[in-house]
Amino acid sequence: MYKNVIPPGGNASTSGSVRQGTITNKIKAIVYDLDGTLLDTESLSTEAIQAVVGAYGKTFTWETKKKILGMRGEEWGRVVVDDLGLSDQIEPMMLVKQWERELEVVTPTVQLLPGAREIIQFFDSKGLPQAIATSSSALLVAHKRRHHEAHVFGRMRTIVTGDDPKIVRGKPAPDIYQEAARRLGVAPEECLVFEDALSGVLSGKAAGMFVVAIPDPRLDVACFQAHAHQVLKSLDSFDPRSWGWVEDNITFSTIQ
């Protein structure tokens, strides 16, 4: 069900391993999504949204949740309000602001996802600059980085947030990944992206980047296989050798 890297010149239905050096020589920078990719925030985010809509007697379901994965607040707020029939009770951005306040309370409990620390350390060891391109606001990122500065945020060359004035369109548009590449001083086609949301995968792909997807297991993996260069069950199942890197410093769960 999960596949290896699409060879250069292949298409989304063709799986296989990359011959060593064919792609690694092209990759000069790494860009990560944040929530659901590096940080285990999705369940906390869901609880925070439920706390807000629950006050209006509504239930935030998975059917609505999967529609908004990867979106910026200004975009997903409208979806939630429309889906739950709240348009006459609360404005989308007011809902988002209340959600942010709820989320700030639980931010200190946010944990790194398995493999996040190791993969960042691995690419550090390869001398590759790294960045985060997240739909989260700068305010929420500031709260999150207090607790993971050493192993995540402090190792990033730049962090692009969804409310950055230069990001006119949110994911799945390529704007945020193009801006990350610009700040890193590399071409988009020289970047490798790690994403958990389909909108983010499409964003990275539209920017011309290589994309590794780590989708929620409840989502249709086939949708990710149609667009990503590689689909993984989890970040700690990333095997650098499948991309041609010789693993020599970091132990990933797939390497014996």
Q: H/E element holding 80?
A: helix 73-83
Q: Where are the domains of the chain?
A: 29-40+112-243, 42-109
Dihedral angle over CA of 46, 150, 201, 109, nearest 10 = -10
Task: Render pLDDT for 109-162 as a digit per residue (tens, 0 to 9).
Answer: 899 999 999 999 999 999 999 999 999 999 999 999 988 999 999 999 999 999
Catalytic residue among 33, 175, 196, 236: 33
Cross-strand partners of 192? 30, 210
Per-residue b or e along 105-136, where b marks 16 or more CB atoms closer than 10 Å to that residue's CB: ebbeebebbebbbbbbebbeeeebbbbbbbbb
Does the annotation count 33 as an active-site position? yes
Dihedral angle over CA of 128, 183, 76, 233, nearest 10 = -10
Residues in Cβ contact with 9 at an 8 Å cutoff, skipping those fewer than 6 apart: none
Structure tokens at 35: 């929530």
Please state which architecture CATH assigns to domain 29-40+112-243: 3-Layer(aba) Sandwich (3.40)
Tell me if 120 sits within 8 A of 155, measured CB to CB.
yes
* Burial class of residue 243 (count of CB atoms within 10 Å of its CB; 0-12, 13-18, 19+): buried
Tell me if 35 sits within 8 A of 162, measured CB to CB.
no
* Superfamily, domain 42-109: Putative phosphatase; domain 2 (1.10.150.240)
Tell me if 155 sits within 8 A of 128, measured CB to CB.
no
Catalytic residue among 35, 175, 196, 236: 35
Tell me if 102 sits within 8 A of 55, measured CB to CB.
no
Nearest CA to 253 out of 239, 232, 233 is that of 239
Q: Do domains 29-40+112-243 and 42-109 have the same CATH topology?
A: no
Q: H/E element holding 133?
A: strand 130-134
| Tens digit of each residue's pLDDT, the chain (256 residues) | 445 444 433 433 333 344 334 577 789 999 999 999 999 999 999 999 999 999 999 999 999 999 999 999 989 999 999 999 999 999 999 999 999 999 988 888 899 999 999 999 999 999 999 999 999 999 999 999 988 999 999 999 999 999 999 999 999 999 999 999 999 999 999 999 999 999 999 999 999 999 999 999 999 999 999 999 999 999 999 999 889 887 554 444 443 3
